[in-house]
Amino acid sequence: MPDLIAPHGSDTINPLFVADPAQNAALATEAETLPSVVMSSAGAANAVMLAGGYFNPLKGFMDRADALSVAENMTTAGGLFWPTPVLNLVAEARGIAPGSRIALKDPNVAGEPVLGVMEVTAIETFSDDDMALLTQQVYGTMDAEHPGVAAFNAQGRVCLSGPVQVLNFSYFKTEFPGTFRTAVEIRDAIARNGWSKVVAFQTRNPMHRAHEELCHLAMDRLGADGLVIHMLLGKLKPGDIPADVRDAAIRKMVELYFPPDSAMVTGYGFDMLYAGPREALLHAVFRQNMGATHLIVGRDHAGVGDYYGAFDAQTIFNDIPEDALKIKIFEADHTAYSKKLHKVVMMREAPDHTKEDFVILSGTRVREMLGRGEAPPKEFSRPEVAQILMDYYQGLDG
């Protein structure tokens, strides 16, 4: 069996989920007696990522010093490379003191059940300057219209830091039982498959022909023996396609257009930051933790609107220390179907083409077509995938 890539920052992966049933039950019982806070959706997503080993080697939520250091230097105060703060921000913390054990309540599940138990080592309030620095450095903008900026600044300013023990995976295991996987589970599956070179593909959207061919292209050029399609299952911005619809569309594509046992369709529980370059680095960190050796980073990876340059999410990898990460990136250009070559290509590799030589459709145009029950051209979208999306969009109008 091949050796897997080491997790980030440690020799072995340390998920913070309490897997022992007796210990889990005892903590759940203790949680009923503890002071509690209802987390933000982003804080709960951070807990789920910590639970699954994705945020290895972190032991819990960052304090102010770590958060500001990560924002400014992309390292914790102790020197660990980390691109985005992992915080538990709340509006207030009445009745809680440093040294307290508290129950963390899940805002995304009916009844706000306990998600985890946290030992509070510090309670700090971020100033206006702190929030401005964190926002500008992580998101590259202070614009309140940016969905990540808006979500971050709406959480509250009281920072609860300290180690956490997580009791469950929020709604992800129940709503997406066939897709949600922890970093530990994906790492184990990669080992069972005997894959040694593994490509990860990040998506928050359905995959059309260009995405599909990009995965094939990366695997071929890297000599990879496995692909992990890893979709975000958490909160998105309005208008994005729900995870269950994406899941069905991607599974159909893999079933019909990838060789058997060459691709795994999985998902992770996190709220999208839309932080562009910084989020691309975070994607690399947790893909290394799940066992991928390469991550496809395309145009405007993890971006939104016009906040980031087309290739900023690739060039930021040149700005970090060479030994910061073991995972490598596969730099992808915009891909499109070439009418001249009768196949999908990376546009930069077709310098003799004009725009008219490609089949290019905007997201808005595709949504309009699907909503009318009209399939996009077969060069753009596989018909079987388009049918699933058409059913969804037409259901919105029903």
- Identify whether 318 is a catalytic site residue: no
Which one of 14, 24, 101, 204 is the catalytic residue? Answer: 204
Q: Are the C-beta atoms of 210 and 337 separated by less than 8 Å?
A: yes
In the block, residue with structure tokens 């083409």: 353
- Active-site hit among 14, 193, 205, 251: 205
Q: Is 212 exposed, middle or buried (0-12, 13-18, 19+ CB in 10 A)?
A: buried
Tell me which residues are annotated as active site.
Answer: 204-205
